[in-house]
Structure 1
Amino acid sequence: MSKQIQTTIGIRNALRTTGKVRQLTPEQLEIPIDGDDKDEEQSDIDIWGELYEWARTAAEVGEVGVAARTEDGHISSAFPIREGRSHEIHALELAVWKAYSEREVPVTEVAIVTDNRDFSPCGRCRQVVSDYSSGAEVRSADRQGDNWHHVLPEEETPQRPEPSTVPAEEAIEDGSDTEESVNTDTTPEGQSEQLEVEYIRFETPVYHYKYKDLHTTFCNRDLKGLEFRRSNQEPDLLDPCKSCTGESRVQTIEEQMEDLRSEIREQVPEVTVDGLDPGHFDAEELGAILDAIPTEFHKFERSPETIRFKLSRAVEEINDSETAPKSFEKGEMEAMLAAIEGVGIVPRSPHLFVITESNKMKRVSLSEFQTQGRGGKGTRVTPAGEGDEPTSMFVAIPRDHVLLFTDHGNVYKLNGCEIPHMTTSEGGTPLTEIIPLDEGESVEVAIPMTDDDHEFLAIVTRKGYIKRTKAEEFDNILSTGIIAIDLEDDELRDVKWTDGNSDIIIGSRGGQTIRFDESQVRPMGRTARGVKGIDLTSGDGVTGMSVIDPEEESQILSVTKNGYGKRTDADDYRPQSRGGRGLKDIAIDERNGSLVDVETVTEEEHLVVLNSDGHLIHTPVSGISSMGRNTKGVIIMNLNDDDSVIGWDIVPVSTEVS
């Protein structure tokens, strides 16, 4: 059972240090006041000018820069930081906290530099200003040093009594002077004499303290989005959090980052620990860290920018940064240390990505599926009896970015590793939890962004329209997505990268294919619909598209709905003019069913085929017979009567698993 603690702030907030923040006037200290207003005004200008320079420098790193000055003239600055991808520590609270903790002297002036004219400190920041200041004046300006205004004028800065470190009755038992132990400062006009304390409990047998109307505990735990129980009465059978009561000290972010850097140095001796910023690593240190991570990287020209990019691709929770490639946040340093120890490394092996009818998505390592000969039933990859059939699939490496194209004509970009890795018995994660899809919007086609050089992105629709758009137009995709194509009353069918010198083959459900030079499709903007690529007969529709390098020997693999397919030399598909009806590719009858897709292949590659029941077959391309056009093909996957092939893809030679 814990000791009784008064609800009238008879506890010490862990955010405070043991140093007393006293509010004394010059008269109380018997300090003479200089009557020269001119000198005082000049001094004030110098103070705010210096604070502005500190805050402006910090704003070059983050969107907001803050500098705080204590009574003895000490200045600290800060910019916003994020721990991992969750809680953001605001620049204002961090700068004020740093300034006070470094000297244990109250903060008197705070300068904020931001281009956001509507900037207003959150309740958490206001509370920190109250905790560590003696009526601090907070001013804001833009990056040019203009538009100065008061954010928290001295008369509006909320002040609250400094809590006693022990309850009043305990102070009496210890023999201390009650009047000094219990705060007797007068409360500012209009404020309550007491700040109400609430007791917060999670699943663990410990309770925490928080002030009513604030969303953070005394131990600095953010409560937003968390489930907990609250009470106005102190629990009798539980112990209080030692960090909330001040019995244990909470490390600052800088101290935690310094400890992380020391741990990294134990693994990577090239890392130094005597720098001013523990999250800053020079090029040599970054290279040594990259080499210490137990995974392979393709050879590349090393620079801080390229190393940071490779780290963001290979390590979970490390983000790419073109503006500050040498600076890492606390969560990224934790991920870096874990990666050196072999944890949280994004795999290089190919994964199968599956999308279901209810718009759920997951990835499974292809190493879980043994290679087998054609004609088998395959291995289950999605749960049985879920009533949520797979609708599409593709193969990619989790380190690559992936473009997701929807039936609304939009495209979204995300890291492959952001798609949850799950077992074959798990159904997947709703895509709405990964990307901000509109209501009723679903993903139709996905394509990985590899390290290969791409000039264009070719898009084909069900009605046979095709367009090419410069690849660079998809480099900077907003988190909310961008428009990729105007579908009007059409439907998206396939997307492929091209190098500007390739041939394109379009296939239809009726077994027709047409081959033409991609230059016959002029480059267009993202919002364009496209031009006619193939002339379709009534009832027919495009199913897929393939890209051919006319300078290389290759074959076209065709797979049908009922699990049959064949390989045919690409030379058998003579080039034609765009917009024609094309040539017969494969026989479409009751046995074969309609054409599902066409793809360019080589004998060294492997094929993965997924059916509507959630079974996958992984088989070598070389095991599929090579024959001419307009033939029936051979069985690739043995299906039950009600099943059908919903998609297939090629596993490139360079990433094939053994």
Structure 2
Amino acid sequence: IRGSDNAATARNSLMERLDFTEIQAQAILDMRLQRLTGLEREKLDSEMAQLIMDIERYRSILGSPIILDSVVKDELMEVRRQYSDKRRTDIENSAEEVSEEDLIPEEEIVVALSRDGYIRRMPLQDYRVQSRGGKGVKGVSTKAEDEIALLTITNTHRTLYLFTSKGRVFGIKGYILPEPKTGKGKLVGTIVTLDKDERVVAIKDSNLDGAKYVFFVTCKGTAKRLPVEELDGLTRAGRRVLTLAPDDNIARVRVTGGKDELLLTTSMGQTLRVAEEEFRPLGRQAQGVRGMKLDDGDCVVGCDVVTEGRQVFFISDFGIGKRTNYSEFTQHHRAGYGVRAMKLSDKTGKLVGAWGVADDQEIVVISGKGRMVRINTNEISSLSRTATGYKVVRLDEGDSVADVSIVRTDEEVELD
């Protein structure tokens, strides 16, 4: 070692002269000089003898199943002696289940139902705010004869209540609705079972916190107040909530707190303000009572809950609209004709409906040909109940307003 020029030469010399392996030669080079004394040599001899004994012992264990079983038993007994304290964890056989809903992102969506019965959903963020009279974003692709009937803003994880023209209601999750990039969506009759002459006339979000009743009004002016508990546990199987006359259909559905005032509006521009308490609560099978008298050819198109600090927004077939203070409408008893709410003409068309709005809210207007426009309520004129109004949304020739939904500025939902 001393005569070698470097460590590599010394290692090779040891391997050649003493027939060491490379590992053995390197181990000798790595040893400190003190380990070359006689005492250290005795320690190495003793360690070697012990290793030889261990090797023989392990070979005897591996070569005899009886000895192997005995060793395993002794070692397990030692483990039990050291760790035989009381269990600190619970062992359960069942694994946590993951539902389909857990895997679906939660997001705000727009649900649109066409007059031809096609339903689809779209992300709410796809729609930009338009100034008054803007043409908006093309949000729905429809056939010329397939006009949009309903528009609702909701959440993918919440349940939607689908109220039908024949007094039934179904419960479905928002995420089960189709979200096509183009096209009309899916026939609602393939999602819930409808009779031949039955159609969906209202879509409501199930987030009814604080509400005590669901208020129905039919096209012919019949009204009914139903406790919200009657909707608990709704599924796609559906249930009947209102018994109708053969020639009548549900027009509007609202939720109320028990002591609210309601504003009933007709297509010919009449409005009746009435206390909710004038309609006694009824069971699911009941037919309802007279809510409002109508002239021949007239029908109910609006039902709004009167809210302090808000106004009522009216819009006609051809996009003429206005805001009017609730104070312009005095309260009357149910079954009356009401008062004039908006001056109509051939240029305005009939009223589409009436909705309660506050300052700085956004109104989503959807036309029959699928045109969507978001407008801030501050851009809509506040006028008296006898005034006609101004152009709120600019429509293409042959198009008309189909529905409206109200969105708060924080993007929470205020359903129609």
TM-score normalised according to structure 2 size: 0.74
Closer/same/farther in 2, CA of residues 335 and 402 from structure 1, 3 Å limit? closer
1:557 alignment partner in structure 2: 313
Q: CA deviation at 1:454?
A: 1.1
Distance in 2, Cα, partners of 1:273 & 1:558: 64
| Preserved contact between residue 252 and residue 303 of structure 2 (Cα < 8 Å) | yes
Q: CA deviation at 1:532?
A: 1.3
1:626 alignment partner in structure 2: 382
Matched, 1:497 2:266: no
Closer/same/farther in 2, CA of residues 335 and 384 from structure 1, 3 Å limit? closer
1:279 alignment partner in structure 2: 95
Distance in 1, Cα, partners of 2:290 & 2:157: 35
1:345 alignment partner in structure 2: 105
Higher relative contact order (CA closer than 8 Å, sequence separation 6+): 2
Q: CA deviation at 1:634?
A: 1.1
Q: How does 1:581-620 map to 2 (within 5 A)?
A: 581-620=337-376
Matched, 1:357 2:115: yes
2:183 alignment partner in structure 1: 426
| Preserved contact between residue 506 and residue 545 of structure 1 (Cα < 8 Å) | yes
Distance in 2, Cα, partners of 1:273 & 1:439: 59
Q: Can you list the C-alpha shifts for 1:380-404, whole angstroms capped at 9, x where unaligned?
A: 1112546422222222222321110
Q: CA deviation at 1:494?
A: 0.3
1:448 alignment partner in structure 2: 205
1:377 to 114, 130, 135: 135
Closer/same/farther in 2, CA of residues 414 and 562 from structure 1, 3 Å limit? same
| Bigger Rg, which one | 2
2:6 alignment partner in structure 1: none
Distance in 1, Cα, partners of 2:143 & 2:295: 38
| Preserved contact between residue 458 and residue 469 of structure 1 (Cα < 8 Å) | yes
Distance in 2, Cα, partners of 1:369 & 1:611: 14
1:536 to 273, 276, 294: 294
| Preserved contact between residue 141 and residue 183 of structure 2 (Cα < 8 Å) | yes
Distance in 2, Cα, partners of 1:365 & 1:569: 33
- Percent identity among equivalent residues? 28
Q: CA deviation at 1:644?
A: 0.8
1:106 alignment partner in structure 2: none
2:146 alignment partner in structure 1: 388
| Preserved contact between residue 208 and residue 255 of structure 2 (Cα < 8 Å) | no
Q: CA deviation at 1:352?
A: 1.7
Q: How does 1:106-125 map to 2 (within 5 A)?
A: none
- Partner SS for 1:655: coil
Q: How does 1:408-423 map to 2 (within 5 A)?
A: 408-423=166-181
Q: How does 1:209-288 map to 2 (within 5 A)?
A: 275-280=91-96
Q: Can you list the C-alpha shifts for 1:134-166, whole angstroms capped at 9, x where unaligned?
A: xxxxxxxxxxxxxxxxxxxxxxxxxxxxxxxxx
Q: Can you list the C-alpha shifts for 1:313-335, whole angstroms capped at 9, x where unaligned?
A: xxxxxxxxxxxxxxx2xx53x87
Q: CA deviation at 1:652?
A: 2.8
Q: CA deviation at 1:279?
A: 2.1
- Partner SS for 2:152: strand
- Partner SS for 1:537: coil
- Partner SS for 1:417: helix
- Partner SS for 1:516: strand
Q: CA deviation at 1:436?
A: 2.2
- Partner SS for 2:225: strand
Distance in 2, Cα, partners of 1:384 & 1:498: 34
Matched, 1:518 2:334: no
Distance in 2, Cα, partners of 1:617 & 1:628: 25
Distance in 1, Cα, partners of 2:283 & 2:155: 28
Q: CA deviation at 1:478?
A: 4.5
User: Which residue identity does 1:414 align to in structure 2?
Assistant: I
1:650 to 396, 401, 406: 406
Q: CA deviation at 1:548?
A: 1.4
Q: Can you list the C-alpha shifts for 1:491-527, whole angstroms capped at 9, x where unaligned?
A: 1100000000110000000001000110001101112
User: Which residue identity does 1:457 align to in structure 2?
Assistant: V
User: Which residue identity does 1:456 align to in structure 2?
Assistant: Y
Q: How does 1:450-465 map to 2 (within 5 A)?
A: 450-465=207-222
User: Which residue identity does 2:361 align to in structure 1?
Assistant: E
| Preserved contact between residue 163 and residue 202 of structure 2 (Cα < 8 Å) | yes
1:485 alignment partner in structure 2: 242
1:573 to 329, 338, 341: 329
| Preserved contact between residue 553 and residue 570 of structure 1 (Cα < 8 Å) | no
Matched, 1:471 2:228: yes
Aligned residues: 325
| Preserved contact between residue 557 and residue 567 of structure 1 (Cα < 8 Å) | yes
| Preserved contact between residue 401 and residue 415 of structure 1 (Cα < 8 Å) | yes
Q: Can you list the C-alpha shifts for 1:535-576, whole angstroms capped at 9, x where unaligned?
A: 111111111100113xx2210011111101000111111111
Distance in 2, Cα, partners of 1:621 & 1:564: 14
5+ residue gaps, structure 1, are 1-271, 281-327
Closer/same/farther in 2, CA of residues 480 and 384 from structure 1, 3 Å limit? closer
Closer/same/farther in 2, CA of residues 566 and 457 from structure 1, 3 Å limit? same
Closer/same/farther in 2, CA of residues 479 and 571 from structure 1, 3 Å limit? same
- Partner SS for 1:578: coil
- Partner SS for 2:251: strand
Closer/same/farther in 2, CA of residues 275 and 507 from structure 1, 3 Å limit? same
| Preserved contact between residue 361 and residue 430 of structure 1 (Cα < 8 Å) | yes
Distance in 1, Cα, partners of 2:310 & 2:374: 21
Distance in 2, Cα, partners of 1:335 & 1:375: 40
